[in-house]
Structure 1
Amino acid sequence: MRPNDEAQMAEAVATATGAVRITGGGTRPVGNPVTGAVLETGGLSGISLYEPGSLTIVAGAGTPLAEIEAALAADNQRLPFEPMDHRGLLGTGGHPTIGGVVAANVSGPRRVQAGACRDYLIGVRYVDGRGTIVKNGGRVMKNVTGYDLVKLMAGSYGTLGVLTEVAFKVLPNVDCTGVLRINGLSDAEAVRALSMAIGSPFEVTGAAHLPVGPDGHPVTMIRIEGFEASVAYRSEKLRALLQGFGDVECGTDPVTGAKDWAQVRDVAAFHGTDGDVWRLSVKPGDGPQIAARLDGAKVVYDWAGGLIWAEVPQGTDVRARLAGFNGHATIIRASAETKTRLGTFQPEPAALAAITAGLRAQFDPRGILNPGLMA
């Protein structure tokens, strides 16, 4: 089913006789396998409102992310949260959609400074499990009042409703980007350096460590963005702050910088490889110790060590290896059998699971929207 407007989407859900599997651009099959009739959002496409002066954009959920980014770039603006492109990591085709970004709350390296997708989402329209069209939030910041269903929909993976339209606050693009690099640090040293940079007053917008960088050696990267003079000043201050960790290189070449951070954002180190990929959300200072418990797994650190991408042998139960750790372990790439056996998402404590079940019962009383995807 591929509805062409919101009314058709509502009818499709209201008349569904069984489970429906909601898809956008088909680029991110994250979650437990879902069996049901396919319901596509791609027909709900197009930018319905863009006001550069108000820093606001509104679009159908099926609008390609590339279309959104191109429209913003034409007015020197951007989505602040730097959504990643999963296609290389997952080996998928298609095109990412803005509704898929919201449904999975996709946020990239800039989250350490700018925040997540949900922090810039100011309005949604969606169809709940009854087939009812619901609107929450607005098209400008001052209209976000009452129950904040906007934030609830971000990261719900289509289990509470089918997104039909989303509204965002956007920001001006950056004038200049500086990237500081330190070579050869151990994981523990790198996280200490990144934590020091993040804790400084110099507005770091990216903090990552690759134990195996593009040249095969460890590289620690710190990003600063803004006006050219400000970037130069803050880069020198950070260089002095971090000099105890070794030689600190600083570059401002826009092509090199964009390429390096795209590799971090899209986890390029694991493109075309065979292992399962897990996403670990942890306390940054605990990152190296937690990664070490994975016994030789390949890892990439983002968010100053708070986000660990780990590649492990197929079928590995990462949660069992990390029993008792403080954090969340999510399967991003694995076989359907592994996802079914282990569960894609970190199991919730009983009290939280009860709240989650209660919310789903209210939003989707028939249990037809992506059933079992997040179980």
Structure 2
Amino acid sequence: MRPVTEAELAEAVAGVAGPLLVRGGGTRTLGHAVGEVLETGGLFGVELYEPGALTLVVRAGTPLSEVERVLAGERQRLAFEPPDLRGLLGREGVSTIGGVVAANASGPRRVQAGACRDATLGVRFVDGSGTVVKNGGRVMKNVTGYDLVKLLAGSRGVLGVLSEVSLKVQAVPDAEATLVVEGLGDEAGLAALRAGLKSPHDISGAARHSGRSLIRVEGMMGSVAYRVGRLRALVGGDVTVVEGEASAVLWREVRDVAPFAGKQGDVWRLACLPTAAAEIVARLEGEAIWDWGGGLIWLLAEPGRGSEVAAAVAGRGHATLVRGEGGPVFPPEATEVAALVAGLKAKFDPRSVLNRGMVG
């Protein structure tokens, strides 16, 4: 099924007899959902773009690349820097903006600008009964009771099928520079990232891989130059400064987990305490890309180590199997959380037809 209007989408969901596998571009789907494929790519187009108000309203099936093209025409961007995981996951297809929001897909700039859900102002979606629901709006101040915007962002289609999203966008800064810090071990290298993030210098990226720590600053040229100088003195080590497009290339590699593309092994996404990041990786003896100052770890490990990974992050974070076979994909939920999730599922999808089996 490939509806081209919200009304067709609602009709399709209401009339279905069995489970539906909701799919945008299929570029970032995780889990074990089953059912008839419901594609949202027919819901295409920009509904409203107000560059002066930094707001964009777009239909959920619109390709991410099209959204980025429209914004680039006004020197604007999505601040949360959504990753492109096609290389990592070995997939083709076109990422959609609805899929980005449904996955809460957020890149390195999350440490400064927040996640995708923080930039999502409003949503329209069809719930599991086929009812069209609207929540939020087109401005930052919008109080409507239940914050379904935050609930739908990251829900991966299990509560509703997005038909439209409203987003806050950001102006592209005049300058960008990255401090590349070498000569530090993982503990010291991650400590340098944390020191940068705790400083007043407005870091927009803090990552480490391949023996190098990367610290990014963006803004007006004079401000960037000043902050680079202050950070160089703060972090220590052997520092090289990379600017402009060369800096952007470094962060696309981190954003897209490019160093792991084509490499054999399972890929885990670990959200953890930054202070525990080095010890967790040392314990698991895998290859790591640290982002968010160590709060996010992409781990390349031998297959079949799920129990070891879960034990390593227990009490300090959670692990998601992004690429690999066997075992659960998502971390187990606490009893109270599982009960809350079940209650939400029963409310928004009482027939349990949307992305059944997505979790686990």
Q: TM-score, normalised by structure 1?
A: 0.94
The aligned residue for residue 350 of structure 1 is 335
The answer on 1:315 being equivalent to 2:298 is no
Task: Give the equivalent residue in structure 2 for 1:30.
Answer: 30
Alignment of 1:237-256 (within 5 A): 237-243=230-236, 246-252=237-243, 254-256=244-246
Whole-angstrom distance in 1 between the partners of 2:41 and 2:345: 24
Whole-Å Cα distance in 2 between the matches of residues 78 and 163 of structure 1?
21
Taking the aligned partners of 1:141 and 1:325, their CA distance within structure 2 comes to 35
Which region of structure 1 is more displaced relative to structure 2, 141-150 or 345-354? Answer: 141-150
Cα contact 1:14–1:129 (8 A) shared by 2: yes
Partner amino acid, structure 2, of 1:229:
G
Structure 1 residue 226 and structure 2 residue 219: aligned? yes
Which residue does 2:351 correspond to in 1?
366
How does 1:1-375 map onto structure 2 within 5 Å?
1-31=1-31, 33-210=32-209, 212=210, 218-243=211-236, 246-252=237-243, 254-294=244-284, 296-317=285-306, 318-322=308-312, 324-335=314-325, 338=326, 342-375=327-360
CA 1:151–1:291: 2 relative to 1, 3 Å: same
For 2:6, give the aligned amino acid.
Answer: E
User: Is the 8 Å Cα contact of residues 122 and 144 (structure 1) preserved in structure 2?
Assistant: no
Whether the 8 Å CA contact 1:197–1:204 is kept in 2: the answer is yes
What value does the CA root-mean-square deviation take over the aligned residues?
1.1
Aligned-partner Cα distance in 2 for 1:263–1:151: 28
> Structure 1: which 5+ residue stretches go unaligned?
213-217
Residue 233 of structure 1: how far off its partner (Å): 0.4
What does the per-residue CA deviation read over 1:296-318, in whole Å, with 9 as the maximum and x for residues that have no partner?
21111000011000011122214
Higher mean C-alpha displacement, 324-333 vs 311-320: 311-320
1:62-92, Cα deviation, whole Å (9 max, x unpaired)? 0000100111110011111000001010010
How far apart in 2 are the matches of 1:320 and 1:5? 42
The answer to whether the Cα contact below 8 Å between 1:160 and 1:369 also exists between their aligned partners in 2 is yes
Structure 2 CA distance for aligned equivalents of residues 237 and 202 of structure 1 = 8
2:341 and 2:120 mapped to 1: Cα distance?
Answer: 21
Deviations 1:119-148 (A, max 9, x none): 010000000000000000012223343211
Q: Deviations over 1:254-289 (max 9, x none)?
A: 121111100000011100112110000001011001
Q: What is the CA deviation profile of residues 341-371 of structure 1, one whole-angstrom value per residue up to 9, with x for unaligned ones?
A: x211111100111011000000000001001
Give 1:233's aligned amino acid: Y
- The list of structure 1 runs, each at least 4 consecutive aligned residues, that deviate by more than 3 angstroms after superposition, is 318-321
Query: Equivalents in 2 of 1:50, 1:151: separation in Å?
Result: 22
Identity, in percent, stands at 54
Q: Offset of 1:292 from its aligned partner?
A: 1.3
Consecutive unaligned residues in structure 2, runs of 5 or more: none
| CA deviation vs aligned residue, 1:234-264 (integer Å, no higher than 9, x gap) | 1001111123xx2222222x12111110000
Partner-residue secondary structure (3-state), 2:141: helix
Counterpart CA distance in 2 for 1:144 and 1:102 is 20
* CA distance in 1 between partners of 2:47 and 2:313 (Å): 48
Contact 1:112 1:206 in 2 (8 A): yes
The alpha carbon displacement at 1:319 in A equals 3.5
Shift of 1:321: 4.2
Aligned-partner SS, 2:167: strand
Letter in structure 2 aligned against 1:354: A
**Paired AA for residue 353 in structure 1:** A
Counterpart residue identity of residue 316, structure 1: R
Contact 1:138–1:144 (8 Å) recurs in 2? no
Residues 182 and 323 of structure 1: CA distance in aligned 2, closer, same or farther (over 3 Å) = closer
Q: Summarize deviations over 1:15-59 as a string: whole Å, max 9, x none.
A: 00010000001111212x122100000000110100001110011
One-letter amino acid matched to 1:174: P
Contact 1:104/1:154 (<8 A) preserved: yes
Q: Distance in 1 between matches of 2:43 and 2:20?
A: 17
User: For structure 1, which segment, 268-277 or 316-325, has the greater mean C-alpha deviation from structure 2 after superposition?
Assistant: 316-325
Count of equivalent residues: 359
SS in 2 for 1:322: helix
Partner of 1:215: none
| Contact 2:179–2:216 (CA under 8 A) maintained in structure 1 | yes
Q: Tell me, in whole angstroms, the C-alpha distance in 2 between the residues paired with 1:226 and 1:145.
A: 34
